[in-house]
Amino acid sequence: MHSSTKVIVGLGSCGMAAGAKKVYDKIAALKQVENLDFELKKTSCVGMCYREPLVEIIDESGSYLYGEIDENRAMEIIEKHIHQKSPVRDYVVYTDLFETPDRSFTDGQVKIVLRNCGYIDPESIEEYESRNGYRAIKKIAGSGISRLDVIQTVIESGLRGRGGGGFPTGLKWKFTNNNKSDEKYIICNADEGDPGAFMDRSVLEGDPHSVIEGMIIGAYAIEATSGVIYCRAEYPLAIKRLNIALEQARKKGYLGTNILGITGFNFDIVIKEGAGAFVCGEETALIASVEGLRGMPRKRPPFPAASGLWKKPTNINNVETFANIPWIILHGGAEYAKYGTEKSKGTKVFALAGKIKRSGLVEVPMGMTIRDIIFKLGGGIKGDKKFKAVQMGGPSGGCIPEYLVDTKIDYDSVNATGAIMGSGGMVVMDESTCMVDMAKFFLDFTQKESCGKCTFCRIGTKRMLEILERITQGKGEEGDIQRLEELSFQIKESSLCGLGQTAPNPVLTTIRYFRDEYEAHIIHKKCPAKVCKPLLTYTIDPEKCTGCTVCAKSCPTGAIDGARKQVHFIRQEACIKCGICYTKCKFDAIIVE
């Protein structure tokens, strides 16, 4: 009789980047050499990206999730936990058996989209099925639930598109269903361009079948004949696991002809690899890319529901939206609607990044406050510095200041701040962040990603970026703030797609909430956060300087003078403001103003 003990290693992209594959190989070698009796398994991202690599051991006493495991620690936990039956408490980051410092990261989460991520082997359809996988489409087939009833269930759930705009998913399906055609398409947008919003990749890597099942249900509801998963080529592991999952689904009869005995329901899915263009997050640009054209948006109407891919009725949702669908069909729209607020139902996945102690993926009910996400789940600010702002909604999102930290996470509340929900990125900033520099960083991204079709987006964002660059170089002029605002409103009103319409958001929100920082840069030629180097002045405090000469020896331009054991001074005309002297001084004698 074999042991029931399981050792599970998280092998998502984040885990492997941290060294999880080496840990897995070490455990596999130990198992073989020592002939150990346990089952070694793979899973994907658990969500605790800040603790990767992660190893879970499940035995007769319970489950123990170990964090920050390298090859040496792997040997230790195998020796003590497997051989000696004594868990290594110092490395345990989560268990139900005793308190751990990371417990608050999981408390408050409600996992619907991430229900299987970190629990199953994503390359095993049987493990997906063991956790209610494909039961939703079987429920539809077995009970003869009509297409309109499926759509009505999604409408009742209150699910809104999780890709950015937040349009009601059920209504979108209804509009596509109403347009009759011999050919219809359903597309999964898995090409989210938000650098901080890696949740779509994690779902595809950790639970690809949930997305596929959601697409199958959507295809049934709108009578789609073909499906496309549009995934950026920079996600090779996601694409690999999607291909495995699609082939498994075909063999099991979930894809193909007369699916699960539903006469005339013929549907299959292909993967289209995108080049990672941010503009292809906009659905008409995505459609153009799938058709082999340059990814550029077109005027609407007609909307894709009437004329989309190959001018046929087409429905597009993103990864997170589709991953919700099987759960909704299985449990009912009303059950899903119990979570969230009046106009924002269900849960939302967020990618926590930036100056936060616990970076990673969290899934919370709509209506939770930003404060609870950052300080309870995220553990607060790194180094216990002061929280300054959070940037939400990706590069086209906005910055929400500290005094609005009790804003509830729902579409209306977030939009009212000037930010957007977007695909769920949360970049946390502390007191050391320059908000002008931050606005410049995000605008630089969106300006480069502009497809160039709209004059205001193509040229307007370039002019805005030039102004921000001048300001951060100490060359700001009176009237620059007004110019930025004027250009922003013109770009928002005149751009064709969501990229241009939202590109000015980081600038507008930082001006709205941190105008004093802009004025300090422009009027006083100072950067309050001491980030913009051209605006900084380095001097030496004579009372603290010991004359150790370390700063003088480190200065690349020889701008620091002074004999040994005598007070040094910096010649400003020669200083290039590199900051090396500041980092090298052990006596805090370098003053930065």
Q: Write the CB contacts of 116 (distance below 8 Å, at least 6 apart in sequence).
A: 128, 131, 133, 206, 207, 210
Please indicate, yes or no, whether the overall pTM of this predicted structure exceeds 0.85: yes
Q: How far is CA 469 from the centre of its chain?
A: 27
- The CATH class that applies to domain 125-334 reads alpha beta
Alpha helices in 426-567 (DSSP H): 435-449, 455, 461-472, 480-494, 498-502, 505-522, 550-554
Q: In whole angstroms, what is the distance from residue 98 CA to residue 86 CA?
A: 14
Q: Write the CB contacts of 302 (distance below 8 Å, at least 6 apart in sequence).
A: none
Q: In whole angstroms, what is the distance from residue 192 CA to residue 390 CA?
A: 20
Decide if domain 6-103 falls under CATH 3.30.300.30.
Answer: no
List the pLDDT tens digit at each of the 593 positions of the chain.
356 899 999 999 999 999 999 999 999 999 999 999 999 999 999 999 999 999 999 999 999 999 999 999 999 999 999 999 999 999 999 999 999 989 999 988 999 999 999 999 999 999 999 999 999 999 999 999 999 999 999 999 999 998 777 899 999 999 999 999 999 999 999 876 554 457 788 999 999 999 999 999 999 999 999 999 999 888 899 999 999 999 999 999 999 999 999 999 999 999 999 887 888 888 999 999 999 999 999 998 999 999 999 999 999 999 999 999 999 999 999 999 999 999 999 999 999 999 999 999 999 999 999 999 999 999 999 999 999 999 998 888 899 999 999 999 999 999 999 998 887 889 999 999 999 999 999 999 999 989 999 999 999 999 999 999 999 999 999 999 999 999 999 999 999 988 889 999 999 999 999 999 999 999 999 999 999 999 999 999 999 999 999 999 999 999 999 999 999 999 999 999 999 999 999 999 999 98
Residue 412's CB: how many other CB atoms inside 10 A?
Answer: 13
3-state secondary structure of 592: strand
Domain ranges of the chain: 6-103, 125-334, 347-430, 435-522, 537-592
3-state secondary structure of 501: helix
Which CATH architecture fits 537-592?
2-Layer Sandwich (3.30)
Task: Report the sign of the C-alpha dihedral through residues 460, 465, 466, 471, in that order.
Answer: positive
CATH of domain 435-522: 1.20.1440.230
The DSSP code sequence of 130-142 is: HTTTTHHHHHHHH
Name the strand (E) or helix (H) holding 108. none
Residue 426's region, left for phi above 0, alpha for psi from -120 to 50, else beta, is beta
The Cβ-side half-sphere exposure at 483, using a 13 Å CA radius, reads 17
Which CATH architecture fits 347-430?
Roll (3.10)
Q: In whole angstroms, what is the distance from residue 97 CA to residue 349 CA?
A: 27
Report CA Rg, the chain: 27
Task: Using the CB atoms, write b or e for 200-235: b if 16+ within 10 Å.
Answer: bbbbbbbbbbbbbbbbbbbbbbbbbbbbbbbbbeeb
Q: In whole angstroms, what is the distance from residue 363 CA to residue 352 CA?
A: 11
Cβ(158)–Cβ(348) under 8 Å? no
Q: In whole angstroms, what is the distance from residue 398 CA to residue 532 CA?
A: 21
Q: In whole angstroms, what is the distance from residue 114 CA to residue 361 CA?
A: 9
Cα-based distances in Å from 40 to 28, 36, 289, 301: 7, 10, 41, 53
Single-letter amino acid, residue 13: S
Q: Write the CB contacts of 482 (distance below 8 Å, at least 6 apart in sequence).
A: none
